[in-house]
Structure 1
Amino acid sequence: MGVFNKLELLDTTESYIIDSALGCIDVKENEITRNDLRDNLTKKYISQSALVNINTKISIYNFIVELLYTLQQAEAEKILFLEQETTLHEAIDLYIHCHMNEAADKFLPLAESGNTKAMYLLGDIYRNYSSVEFHSIGESWQKKGAYLQDPLCMISTIPNEDDVLIMEDIIEKLKDLSYQNDMFAQYELGYCYEYGRCVEKDAELAKKWYLTAAKLGHFKSMNKLGLLYAADRDYIEANKWYKLAGENGYNEGWYNLGKSYHYGIGVEIDSDIAIYYYQKSFNLHGNCSGEIANQIGLVYHEIKKENEPANHWFKRAGELGYSYGWSNLASSYENGRGVSIDIEKAKEYYIKAYDIGDNSAGKFANSIGVIFANEKNYTSAYKWFHLAAKDGFGWGFYNLGCLFYHGLGVEKNNDIAIYYYEKTSYIDSLKMLGKIYYEKISVN
């Protein structure tokens, strides 16, 4: 059993020994394969550590009898390492059917015992299907796997893709695993071809590897195929793959299918079907629940013209940390959609949206500034327009220009107004620049 265990270790936690040795050997010159090196190391282990004379000749019959007896004894004593493989397969089956909590419970002891496949998948669960505080834990598991030279963990965590030799080595290992029907390597290889990670971008090769993985049940590959077909405007095929991903338990599959019915992508617009698929996605409690809740709100608001349920879903989206949920709810209070106009509540919800601090913070800051400007509170308006401009939002610059042009809350200064207007290419900014320069000419 020690021999079997040594073979297992040389393929997992001790694989770095083989990698290091291969790195010191001219493989092409000596025609040594990875398996040759592993077998030679195992033979050394048999003769030196297990004290077995490998030159002793025995019949096949006696060998099989001895092997079966040893396996039986190992199973009885619960030292059979194949038990770990069984648990790994069970965990993977849970994972590919999107039962993430149950899968994580099985992956954790495997990862702790040094199984790098478990490290990769546990890391993926923590990074993509858990709350934010687990993201760093997931990354740390994959980094441990990368330290042990696992190519799946390495491609997920490698910080510097400029190291061409390392990246080429990882890609070759991913290809080797892919040809051995490893769906996770196939997905990662498809991802590399889709985005040009150490290989030339190739959408067709990306599709090929995603398709291969999808046929083995890999839900993310199914969804990726949908997105690639949508990019090619083959929306019927895209929706087929979204549906398959959803049926496999992947919330993003149902979400993308909901968007197709929401916006009429490859199908007729149907608000009820859109909501049906959005809610199927939402009920799976995936990593984009807030965005999905907001989309449900938009269907009620934009298509069904039912603002009360829209506001309910906008609020749920905000509570789940999606900034546009708060922003849309703020807009409802600002404009009296499904609620009485309440400017203070509008400010409160815009500020909640701004405080989330995502890429749209400048837009929300500008909305707050507009409310203050409408109230003629130009000092506060200036503060929020300045924050909007600081985040690069064009209307923040435009509105600052207007404050300086009209002297609202600040001293009138056309030069500063020009500075802010020139920060955008909006027609309104160009009109104001033309007006200022015309006034200068008229004065002269």
Structure 2
Amino acid sequence: MKRINLLILLLCFLGSISFAQEINTLKERAEQGHADAQAYLGYCYDVGKGVTQDYAQAVYWYQKAAEQGNVAALKNLGLCYEYGKGGARDYAKAVSCYQKAAKLGDAWAQFVLGRCYYDGRGVSLNYETAVHWYQKAAEQGYAEAQSRLGDCYKYGTGIAQDHAKAVYWYQKAVEQGHAAALFNLGLCYEYGTGLVQDYAKAAYWYRKGADQGDISSLSALSRFYQQGKGVPQSSEVAAYWQQKAIDSGHRGLQLFLGEDIQQYNDSVKLDYKKKTEQGNAVAQYVLGRLYYEDGDYVNAVKYLTMASQSDTSGAASFLLSKCYRNGFGVPQDVAKADSLQKKALEKGWDEAKSLDDLLKGVFD
């Protein structure tokens, strides 16, 4: 056993020497002006791979590679500017990087650029331009862009409303297992939006989304079992899926108000309405979200509005903006929606829920 442990230690030591040599070679090639080496060296400094993590050095080498049109460097440099890594946040510079990478045909950059135009981050809010870039990315098979494009067609945001095309793009995203698209395709079947109404198929897609832990699908599936829509009626099964939805929501609620949501785990079956009357903002958000997922938008707006008054993470404001943008439970008010969305973004909610997705595929 001792000999085996010594062998493992020796291999690790030799591996560290080998990687150190690779870093030295990488630095030499980067200093010689090789764009790929500059981009990868920037990445090593960005994540602390083989070197001490240093965002300033990461930005330096990303810039060097980006000047030569290296797509990976442009994307990562954009992220550094967007999230303030190695300096102050600069959304305009981030957008500039994304634009260059998008024009070079990168699907990820096209999607992120579309998101910037949709959110009005670093550029003036422009839904038509957002749709343009979502379309570019969607046509290259980028699932998140396909799902977002489906939303735009469904609600007529930045493009003429077309439910059939919404379904088409949701289906494309579903083929890749995209959770939000699974839920939205279920909604289309439930309400007959862009296709023939079919509760059984709606339940099927909700179950697919629920199996991925999607809170919207979990809540919808619970509702279907409670009402016996497309599945045998079962209050017991409904409670099972609703509990999973609540548990899933609780994990995400650690972002909300900066509170430790663990204290609610022992009381998830309590009446949230009672807590809202006591001014509990977390309960207000949970209740508002549950009403939203159940399609009771009037009550959703009521409780989300309460929660937004103490909304330090942007969660309630973000969901409330969707209600105003689409006329859910209130008269449609795009200006109000934009204001609420801006509030949510300023509080970091969009970053909190999308950063992991943004980083995927950059250097995979």
Q: TM-score range by the shorter chain?
A: 0.5 to 0.7
Question: How much does 1:10 deviate?
Answer: 11
- The equivalent residue for 2:103 is 215
- Counterpart-to-counterpart distance in 2, 1:167 and 1:195: 11
Identify if the C-alpha distance between structure 1 residues 422 and 353 changes in structure 2 by more than 3 Å, giving closer, same or farther: closer
* 2:157 paired with 1:265: yes
* 2:243 paired with 1:351: yes
- The equivalent residue for 2:94 is 206
- The equivalent residue for 1:294 is 183
Q: What does the per-residue CA deviation read over 1:103-161, in whole Å, with 9 as the maximum and x for residues that have no partner? A: xxxxxxxxxxxx997xx7xxxxxxxxxxxxxxxxxxxxxxxxxxxxx212332468xx9
Amino acid at match of 2:24: E
Give the one of 385, 399, 412 matched to 2:274. Answer: 399
- The equivalent residue for 2:227 is 335
Give the one of 300, 308, 321 matched to 2:200. Answer: 308
- The equivalent residue for 1:23 is none
Unpaired segments ≥5 residues, structure 2: 1-18, 255-263, 285-301, 304-364
Q: What does the per-residue CA deviation read over 1:23-42, in whole Å, with 9 as the maximum and x for residues that have no partner? A: xxxxxxxxxx9449x9xxxx
Query: SS state of the match for residue 14, structure 1?
Result: helix
- The equivalent residue for 1:231 is 119
- Counterpart-to-counterpart distance in 2, 1:169 and 1:384: 43
Identify if the C-alpha distance between structure 1 residues 168 and 256 changes in structure 2 by more than 3 Å, giving closer, same or farther: same
Matched ranges for 1:59-74 at <5 A = none
Identify if the C-alpha distance between structure 1 residues 183 and 400 changes in structure 2 by more than 3 Å, giving closer, same or farther: closer
Identify if the C-alpha distance between structure 1 residues 211 and 267 changes in structure 2 by more than 3 Å, giving closer, same or farther: same
- Counterpart-to-counterpart distance in 1, 2:225 and 2:69: 55
Question: How much does 1:356 deviate?
Answer: 5.1
- Counterpart-to-counterpart distance in 2, 1:205 and 1:17: 26
Moved more, 315-324 or 230-239: 315-324
Give the one of 377, 386, 389 matched to 2:267. Answer: 386
Identify if the C-alpha distance between structure 1 residues 339 and 229 changes in structure 2 by more than 3 Å, giving closer, same or farther: same
Give the one of 13, 33, 43 matched to 2:23. Answer: 13
The answer to whether the 8 Å contact 1:13/1:116 transfers is no
- State percent identity of aligned pairs: 25
- Counterpart-to-counterpart distance in 2, 1:265 and 1:325: 23
- The equivalent residue for 1:153 is 44
- The equivalent residue for 2:71 is 183
Amino acid at match of 1:323: I
- Counterpart-to-counterpart distance in 1, 2:64 and 2:82: 19
**Larger RCO (CA under 8 A, 6+ residues apart):** 2
Larger Rg: 1
The answer to whether the 8 Å contact 2:45/2:57 transfers is no
Give the one of 252, 255, 260 matched to 2:144. Answer: 252
The answer to whether the 8 Å contact 1:299/1:310 transfers is yes
Amino acid at match of 2:267: H
Q: What does the per-residue CA deviation read over 1:255-286, in whole Å, with 9 as the maximum and x for residues that have no partner? A: 1111111222112333221110011112134x
Q: Provide TM-score, normalisation by structure 1.
A: 0.48
- Counterpart-to-counterpart distance in 2, 1:11 and 1:184: 23
Give the one of 413, 416, 421 matched to 2:278. Answer: 421
- Counterpart-to-counterpart distance in 1, 2:246 and 2:166: 29
- The equivalent residue for 1:194 is 82
Identify if the C-alpha distance between structure 1 residues 15 and 315 changes in structure 2 by more than 3 Å, giving closer, same or farther: same
- The equivalent residue for 1:144 is none
- Counterpart-to-counterpart distance in 2, 1:272 and 1:360: 32
Question: How much does 1:322 deviate?
Answer: 2.2
Name the count of aligned residue pairs.
Answer: 248
The answer to whether the 8 Å contact 1:385/1:399 transfers is no
- The equivalent residue for 2:298 is none
Question: How much does 1:400 deviate?
Answer: 5.8
Query: SS state of the match for residue 251, structure 2?
Result: coil
- Counterpart-to-counterpart distance in 1, 2:265 and 2:191: 29
Amino acid at match of 1:253: A
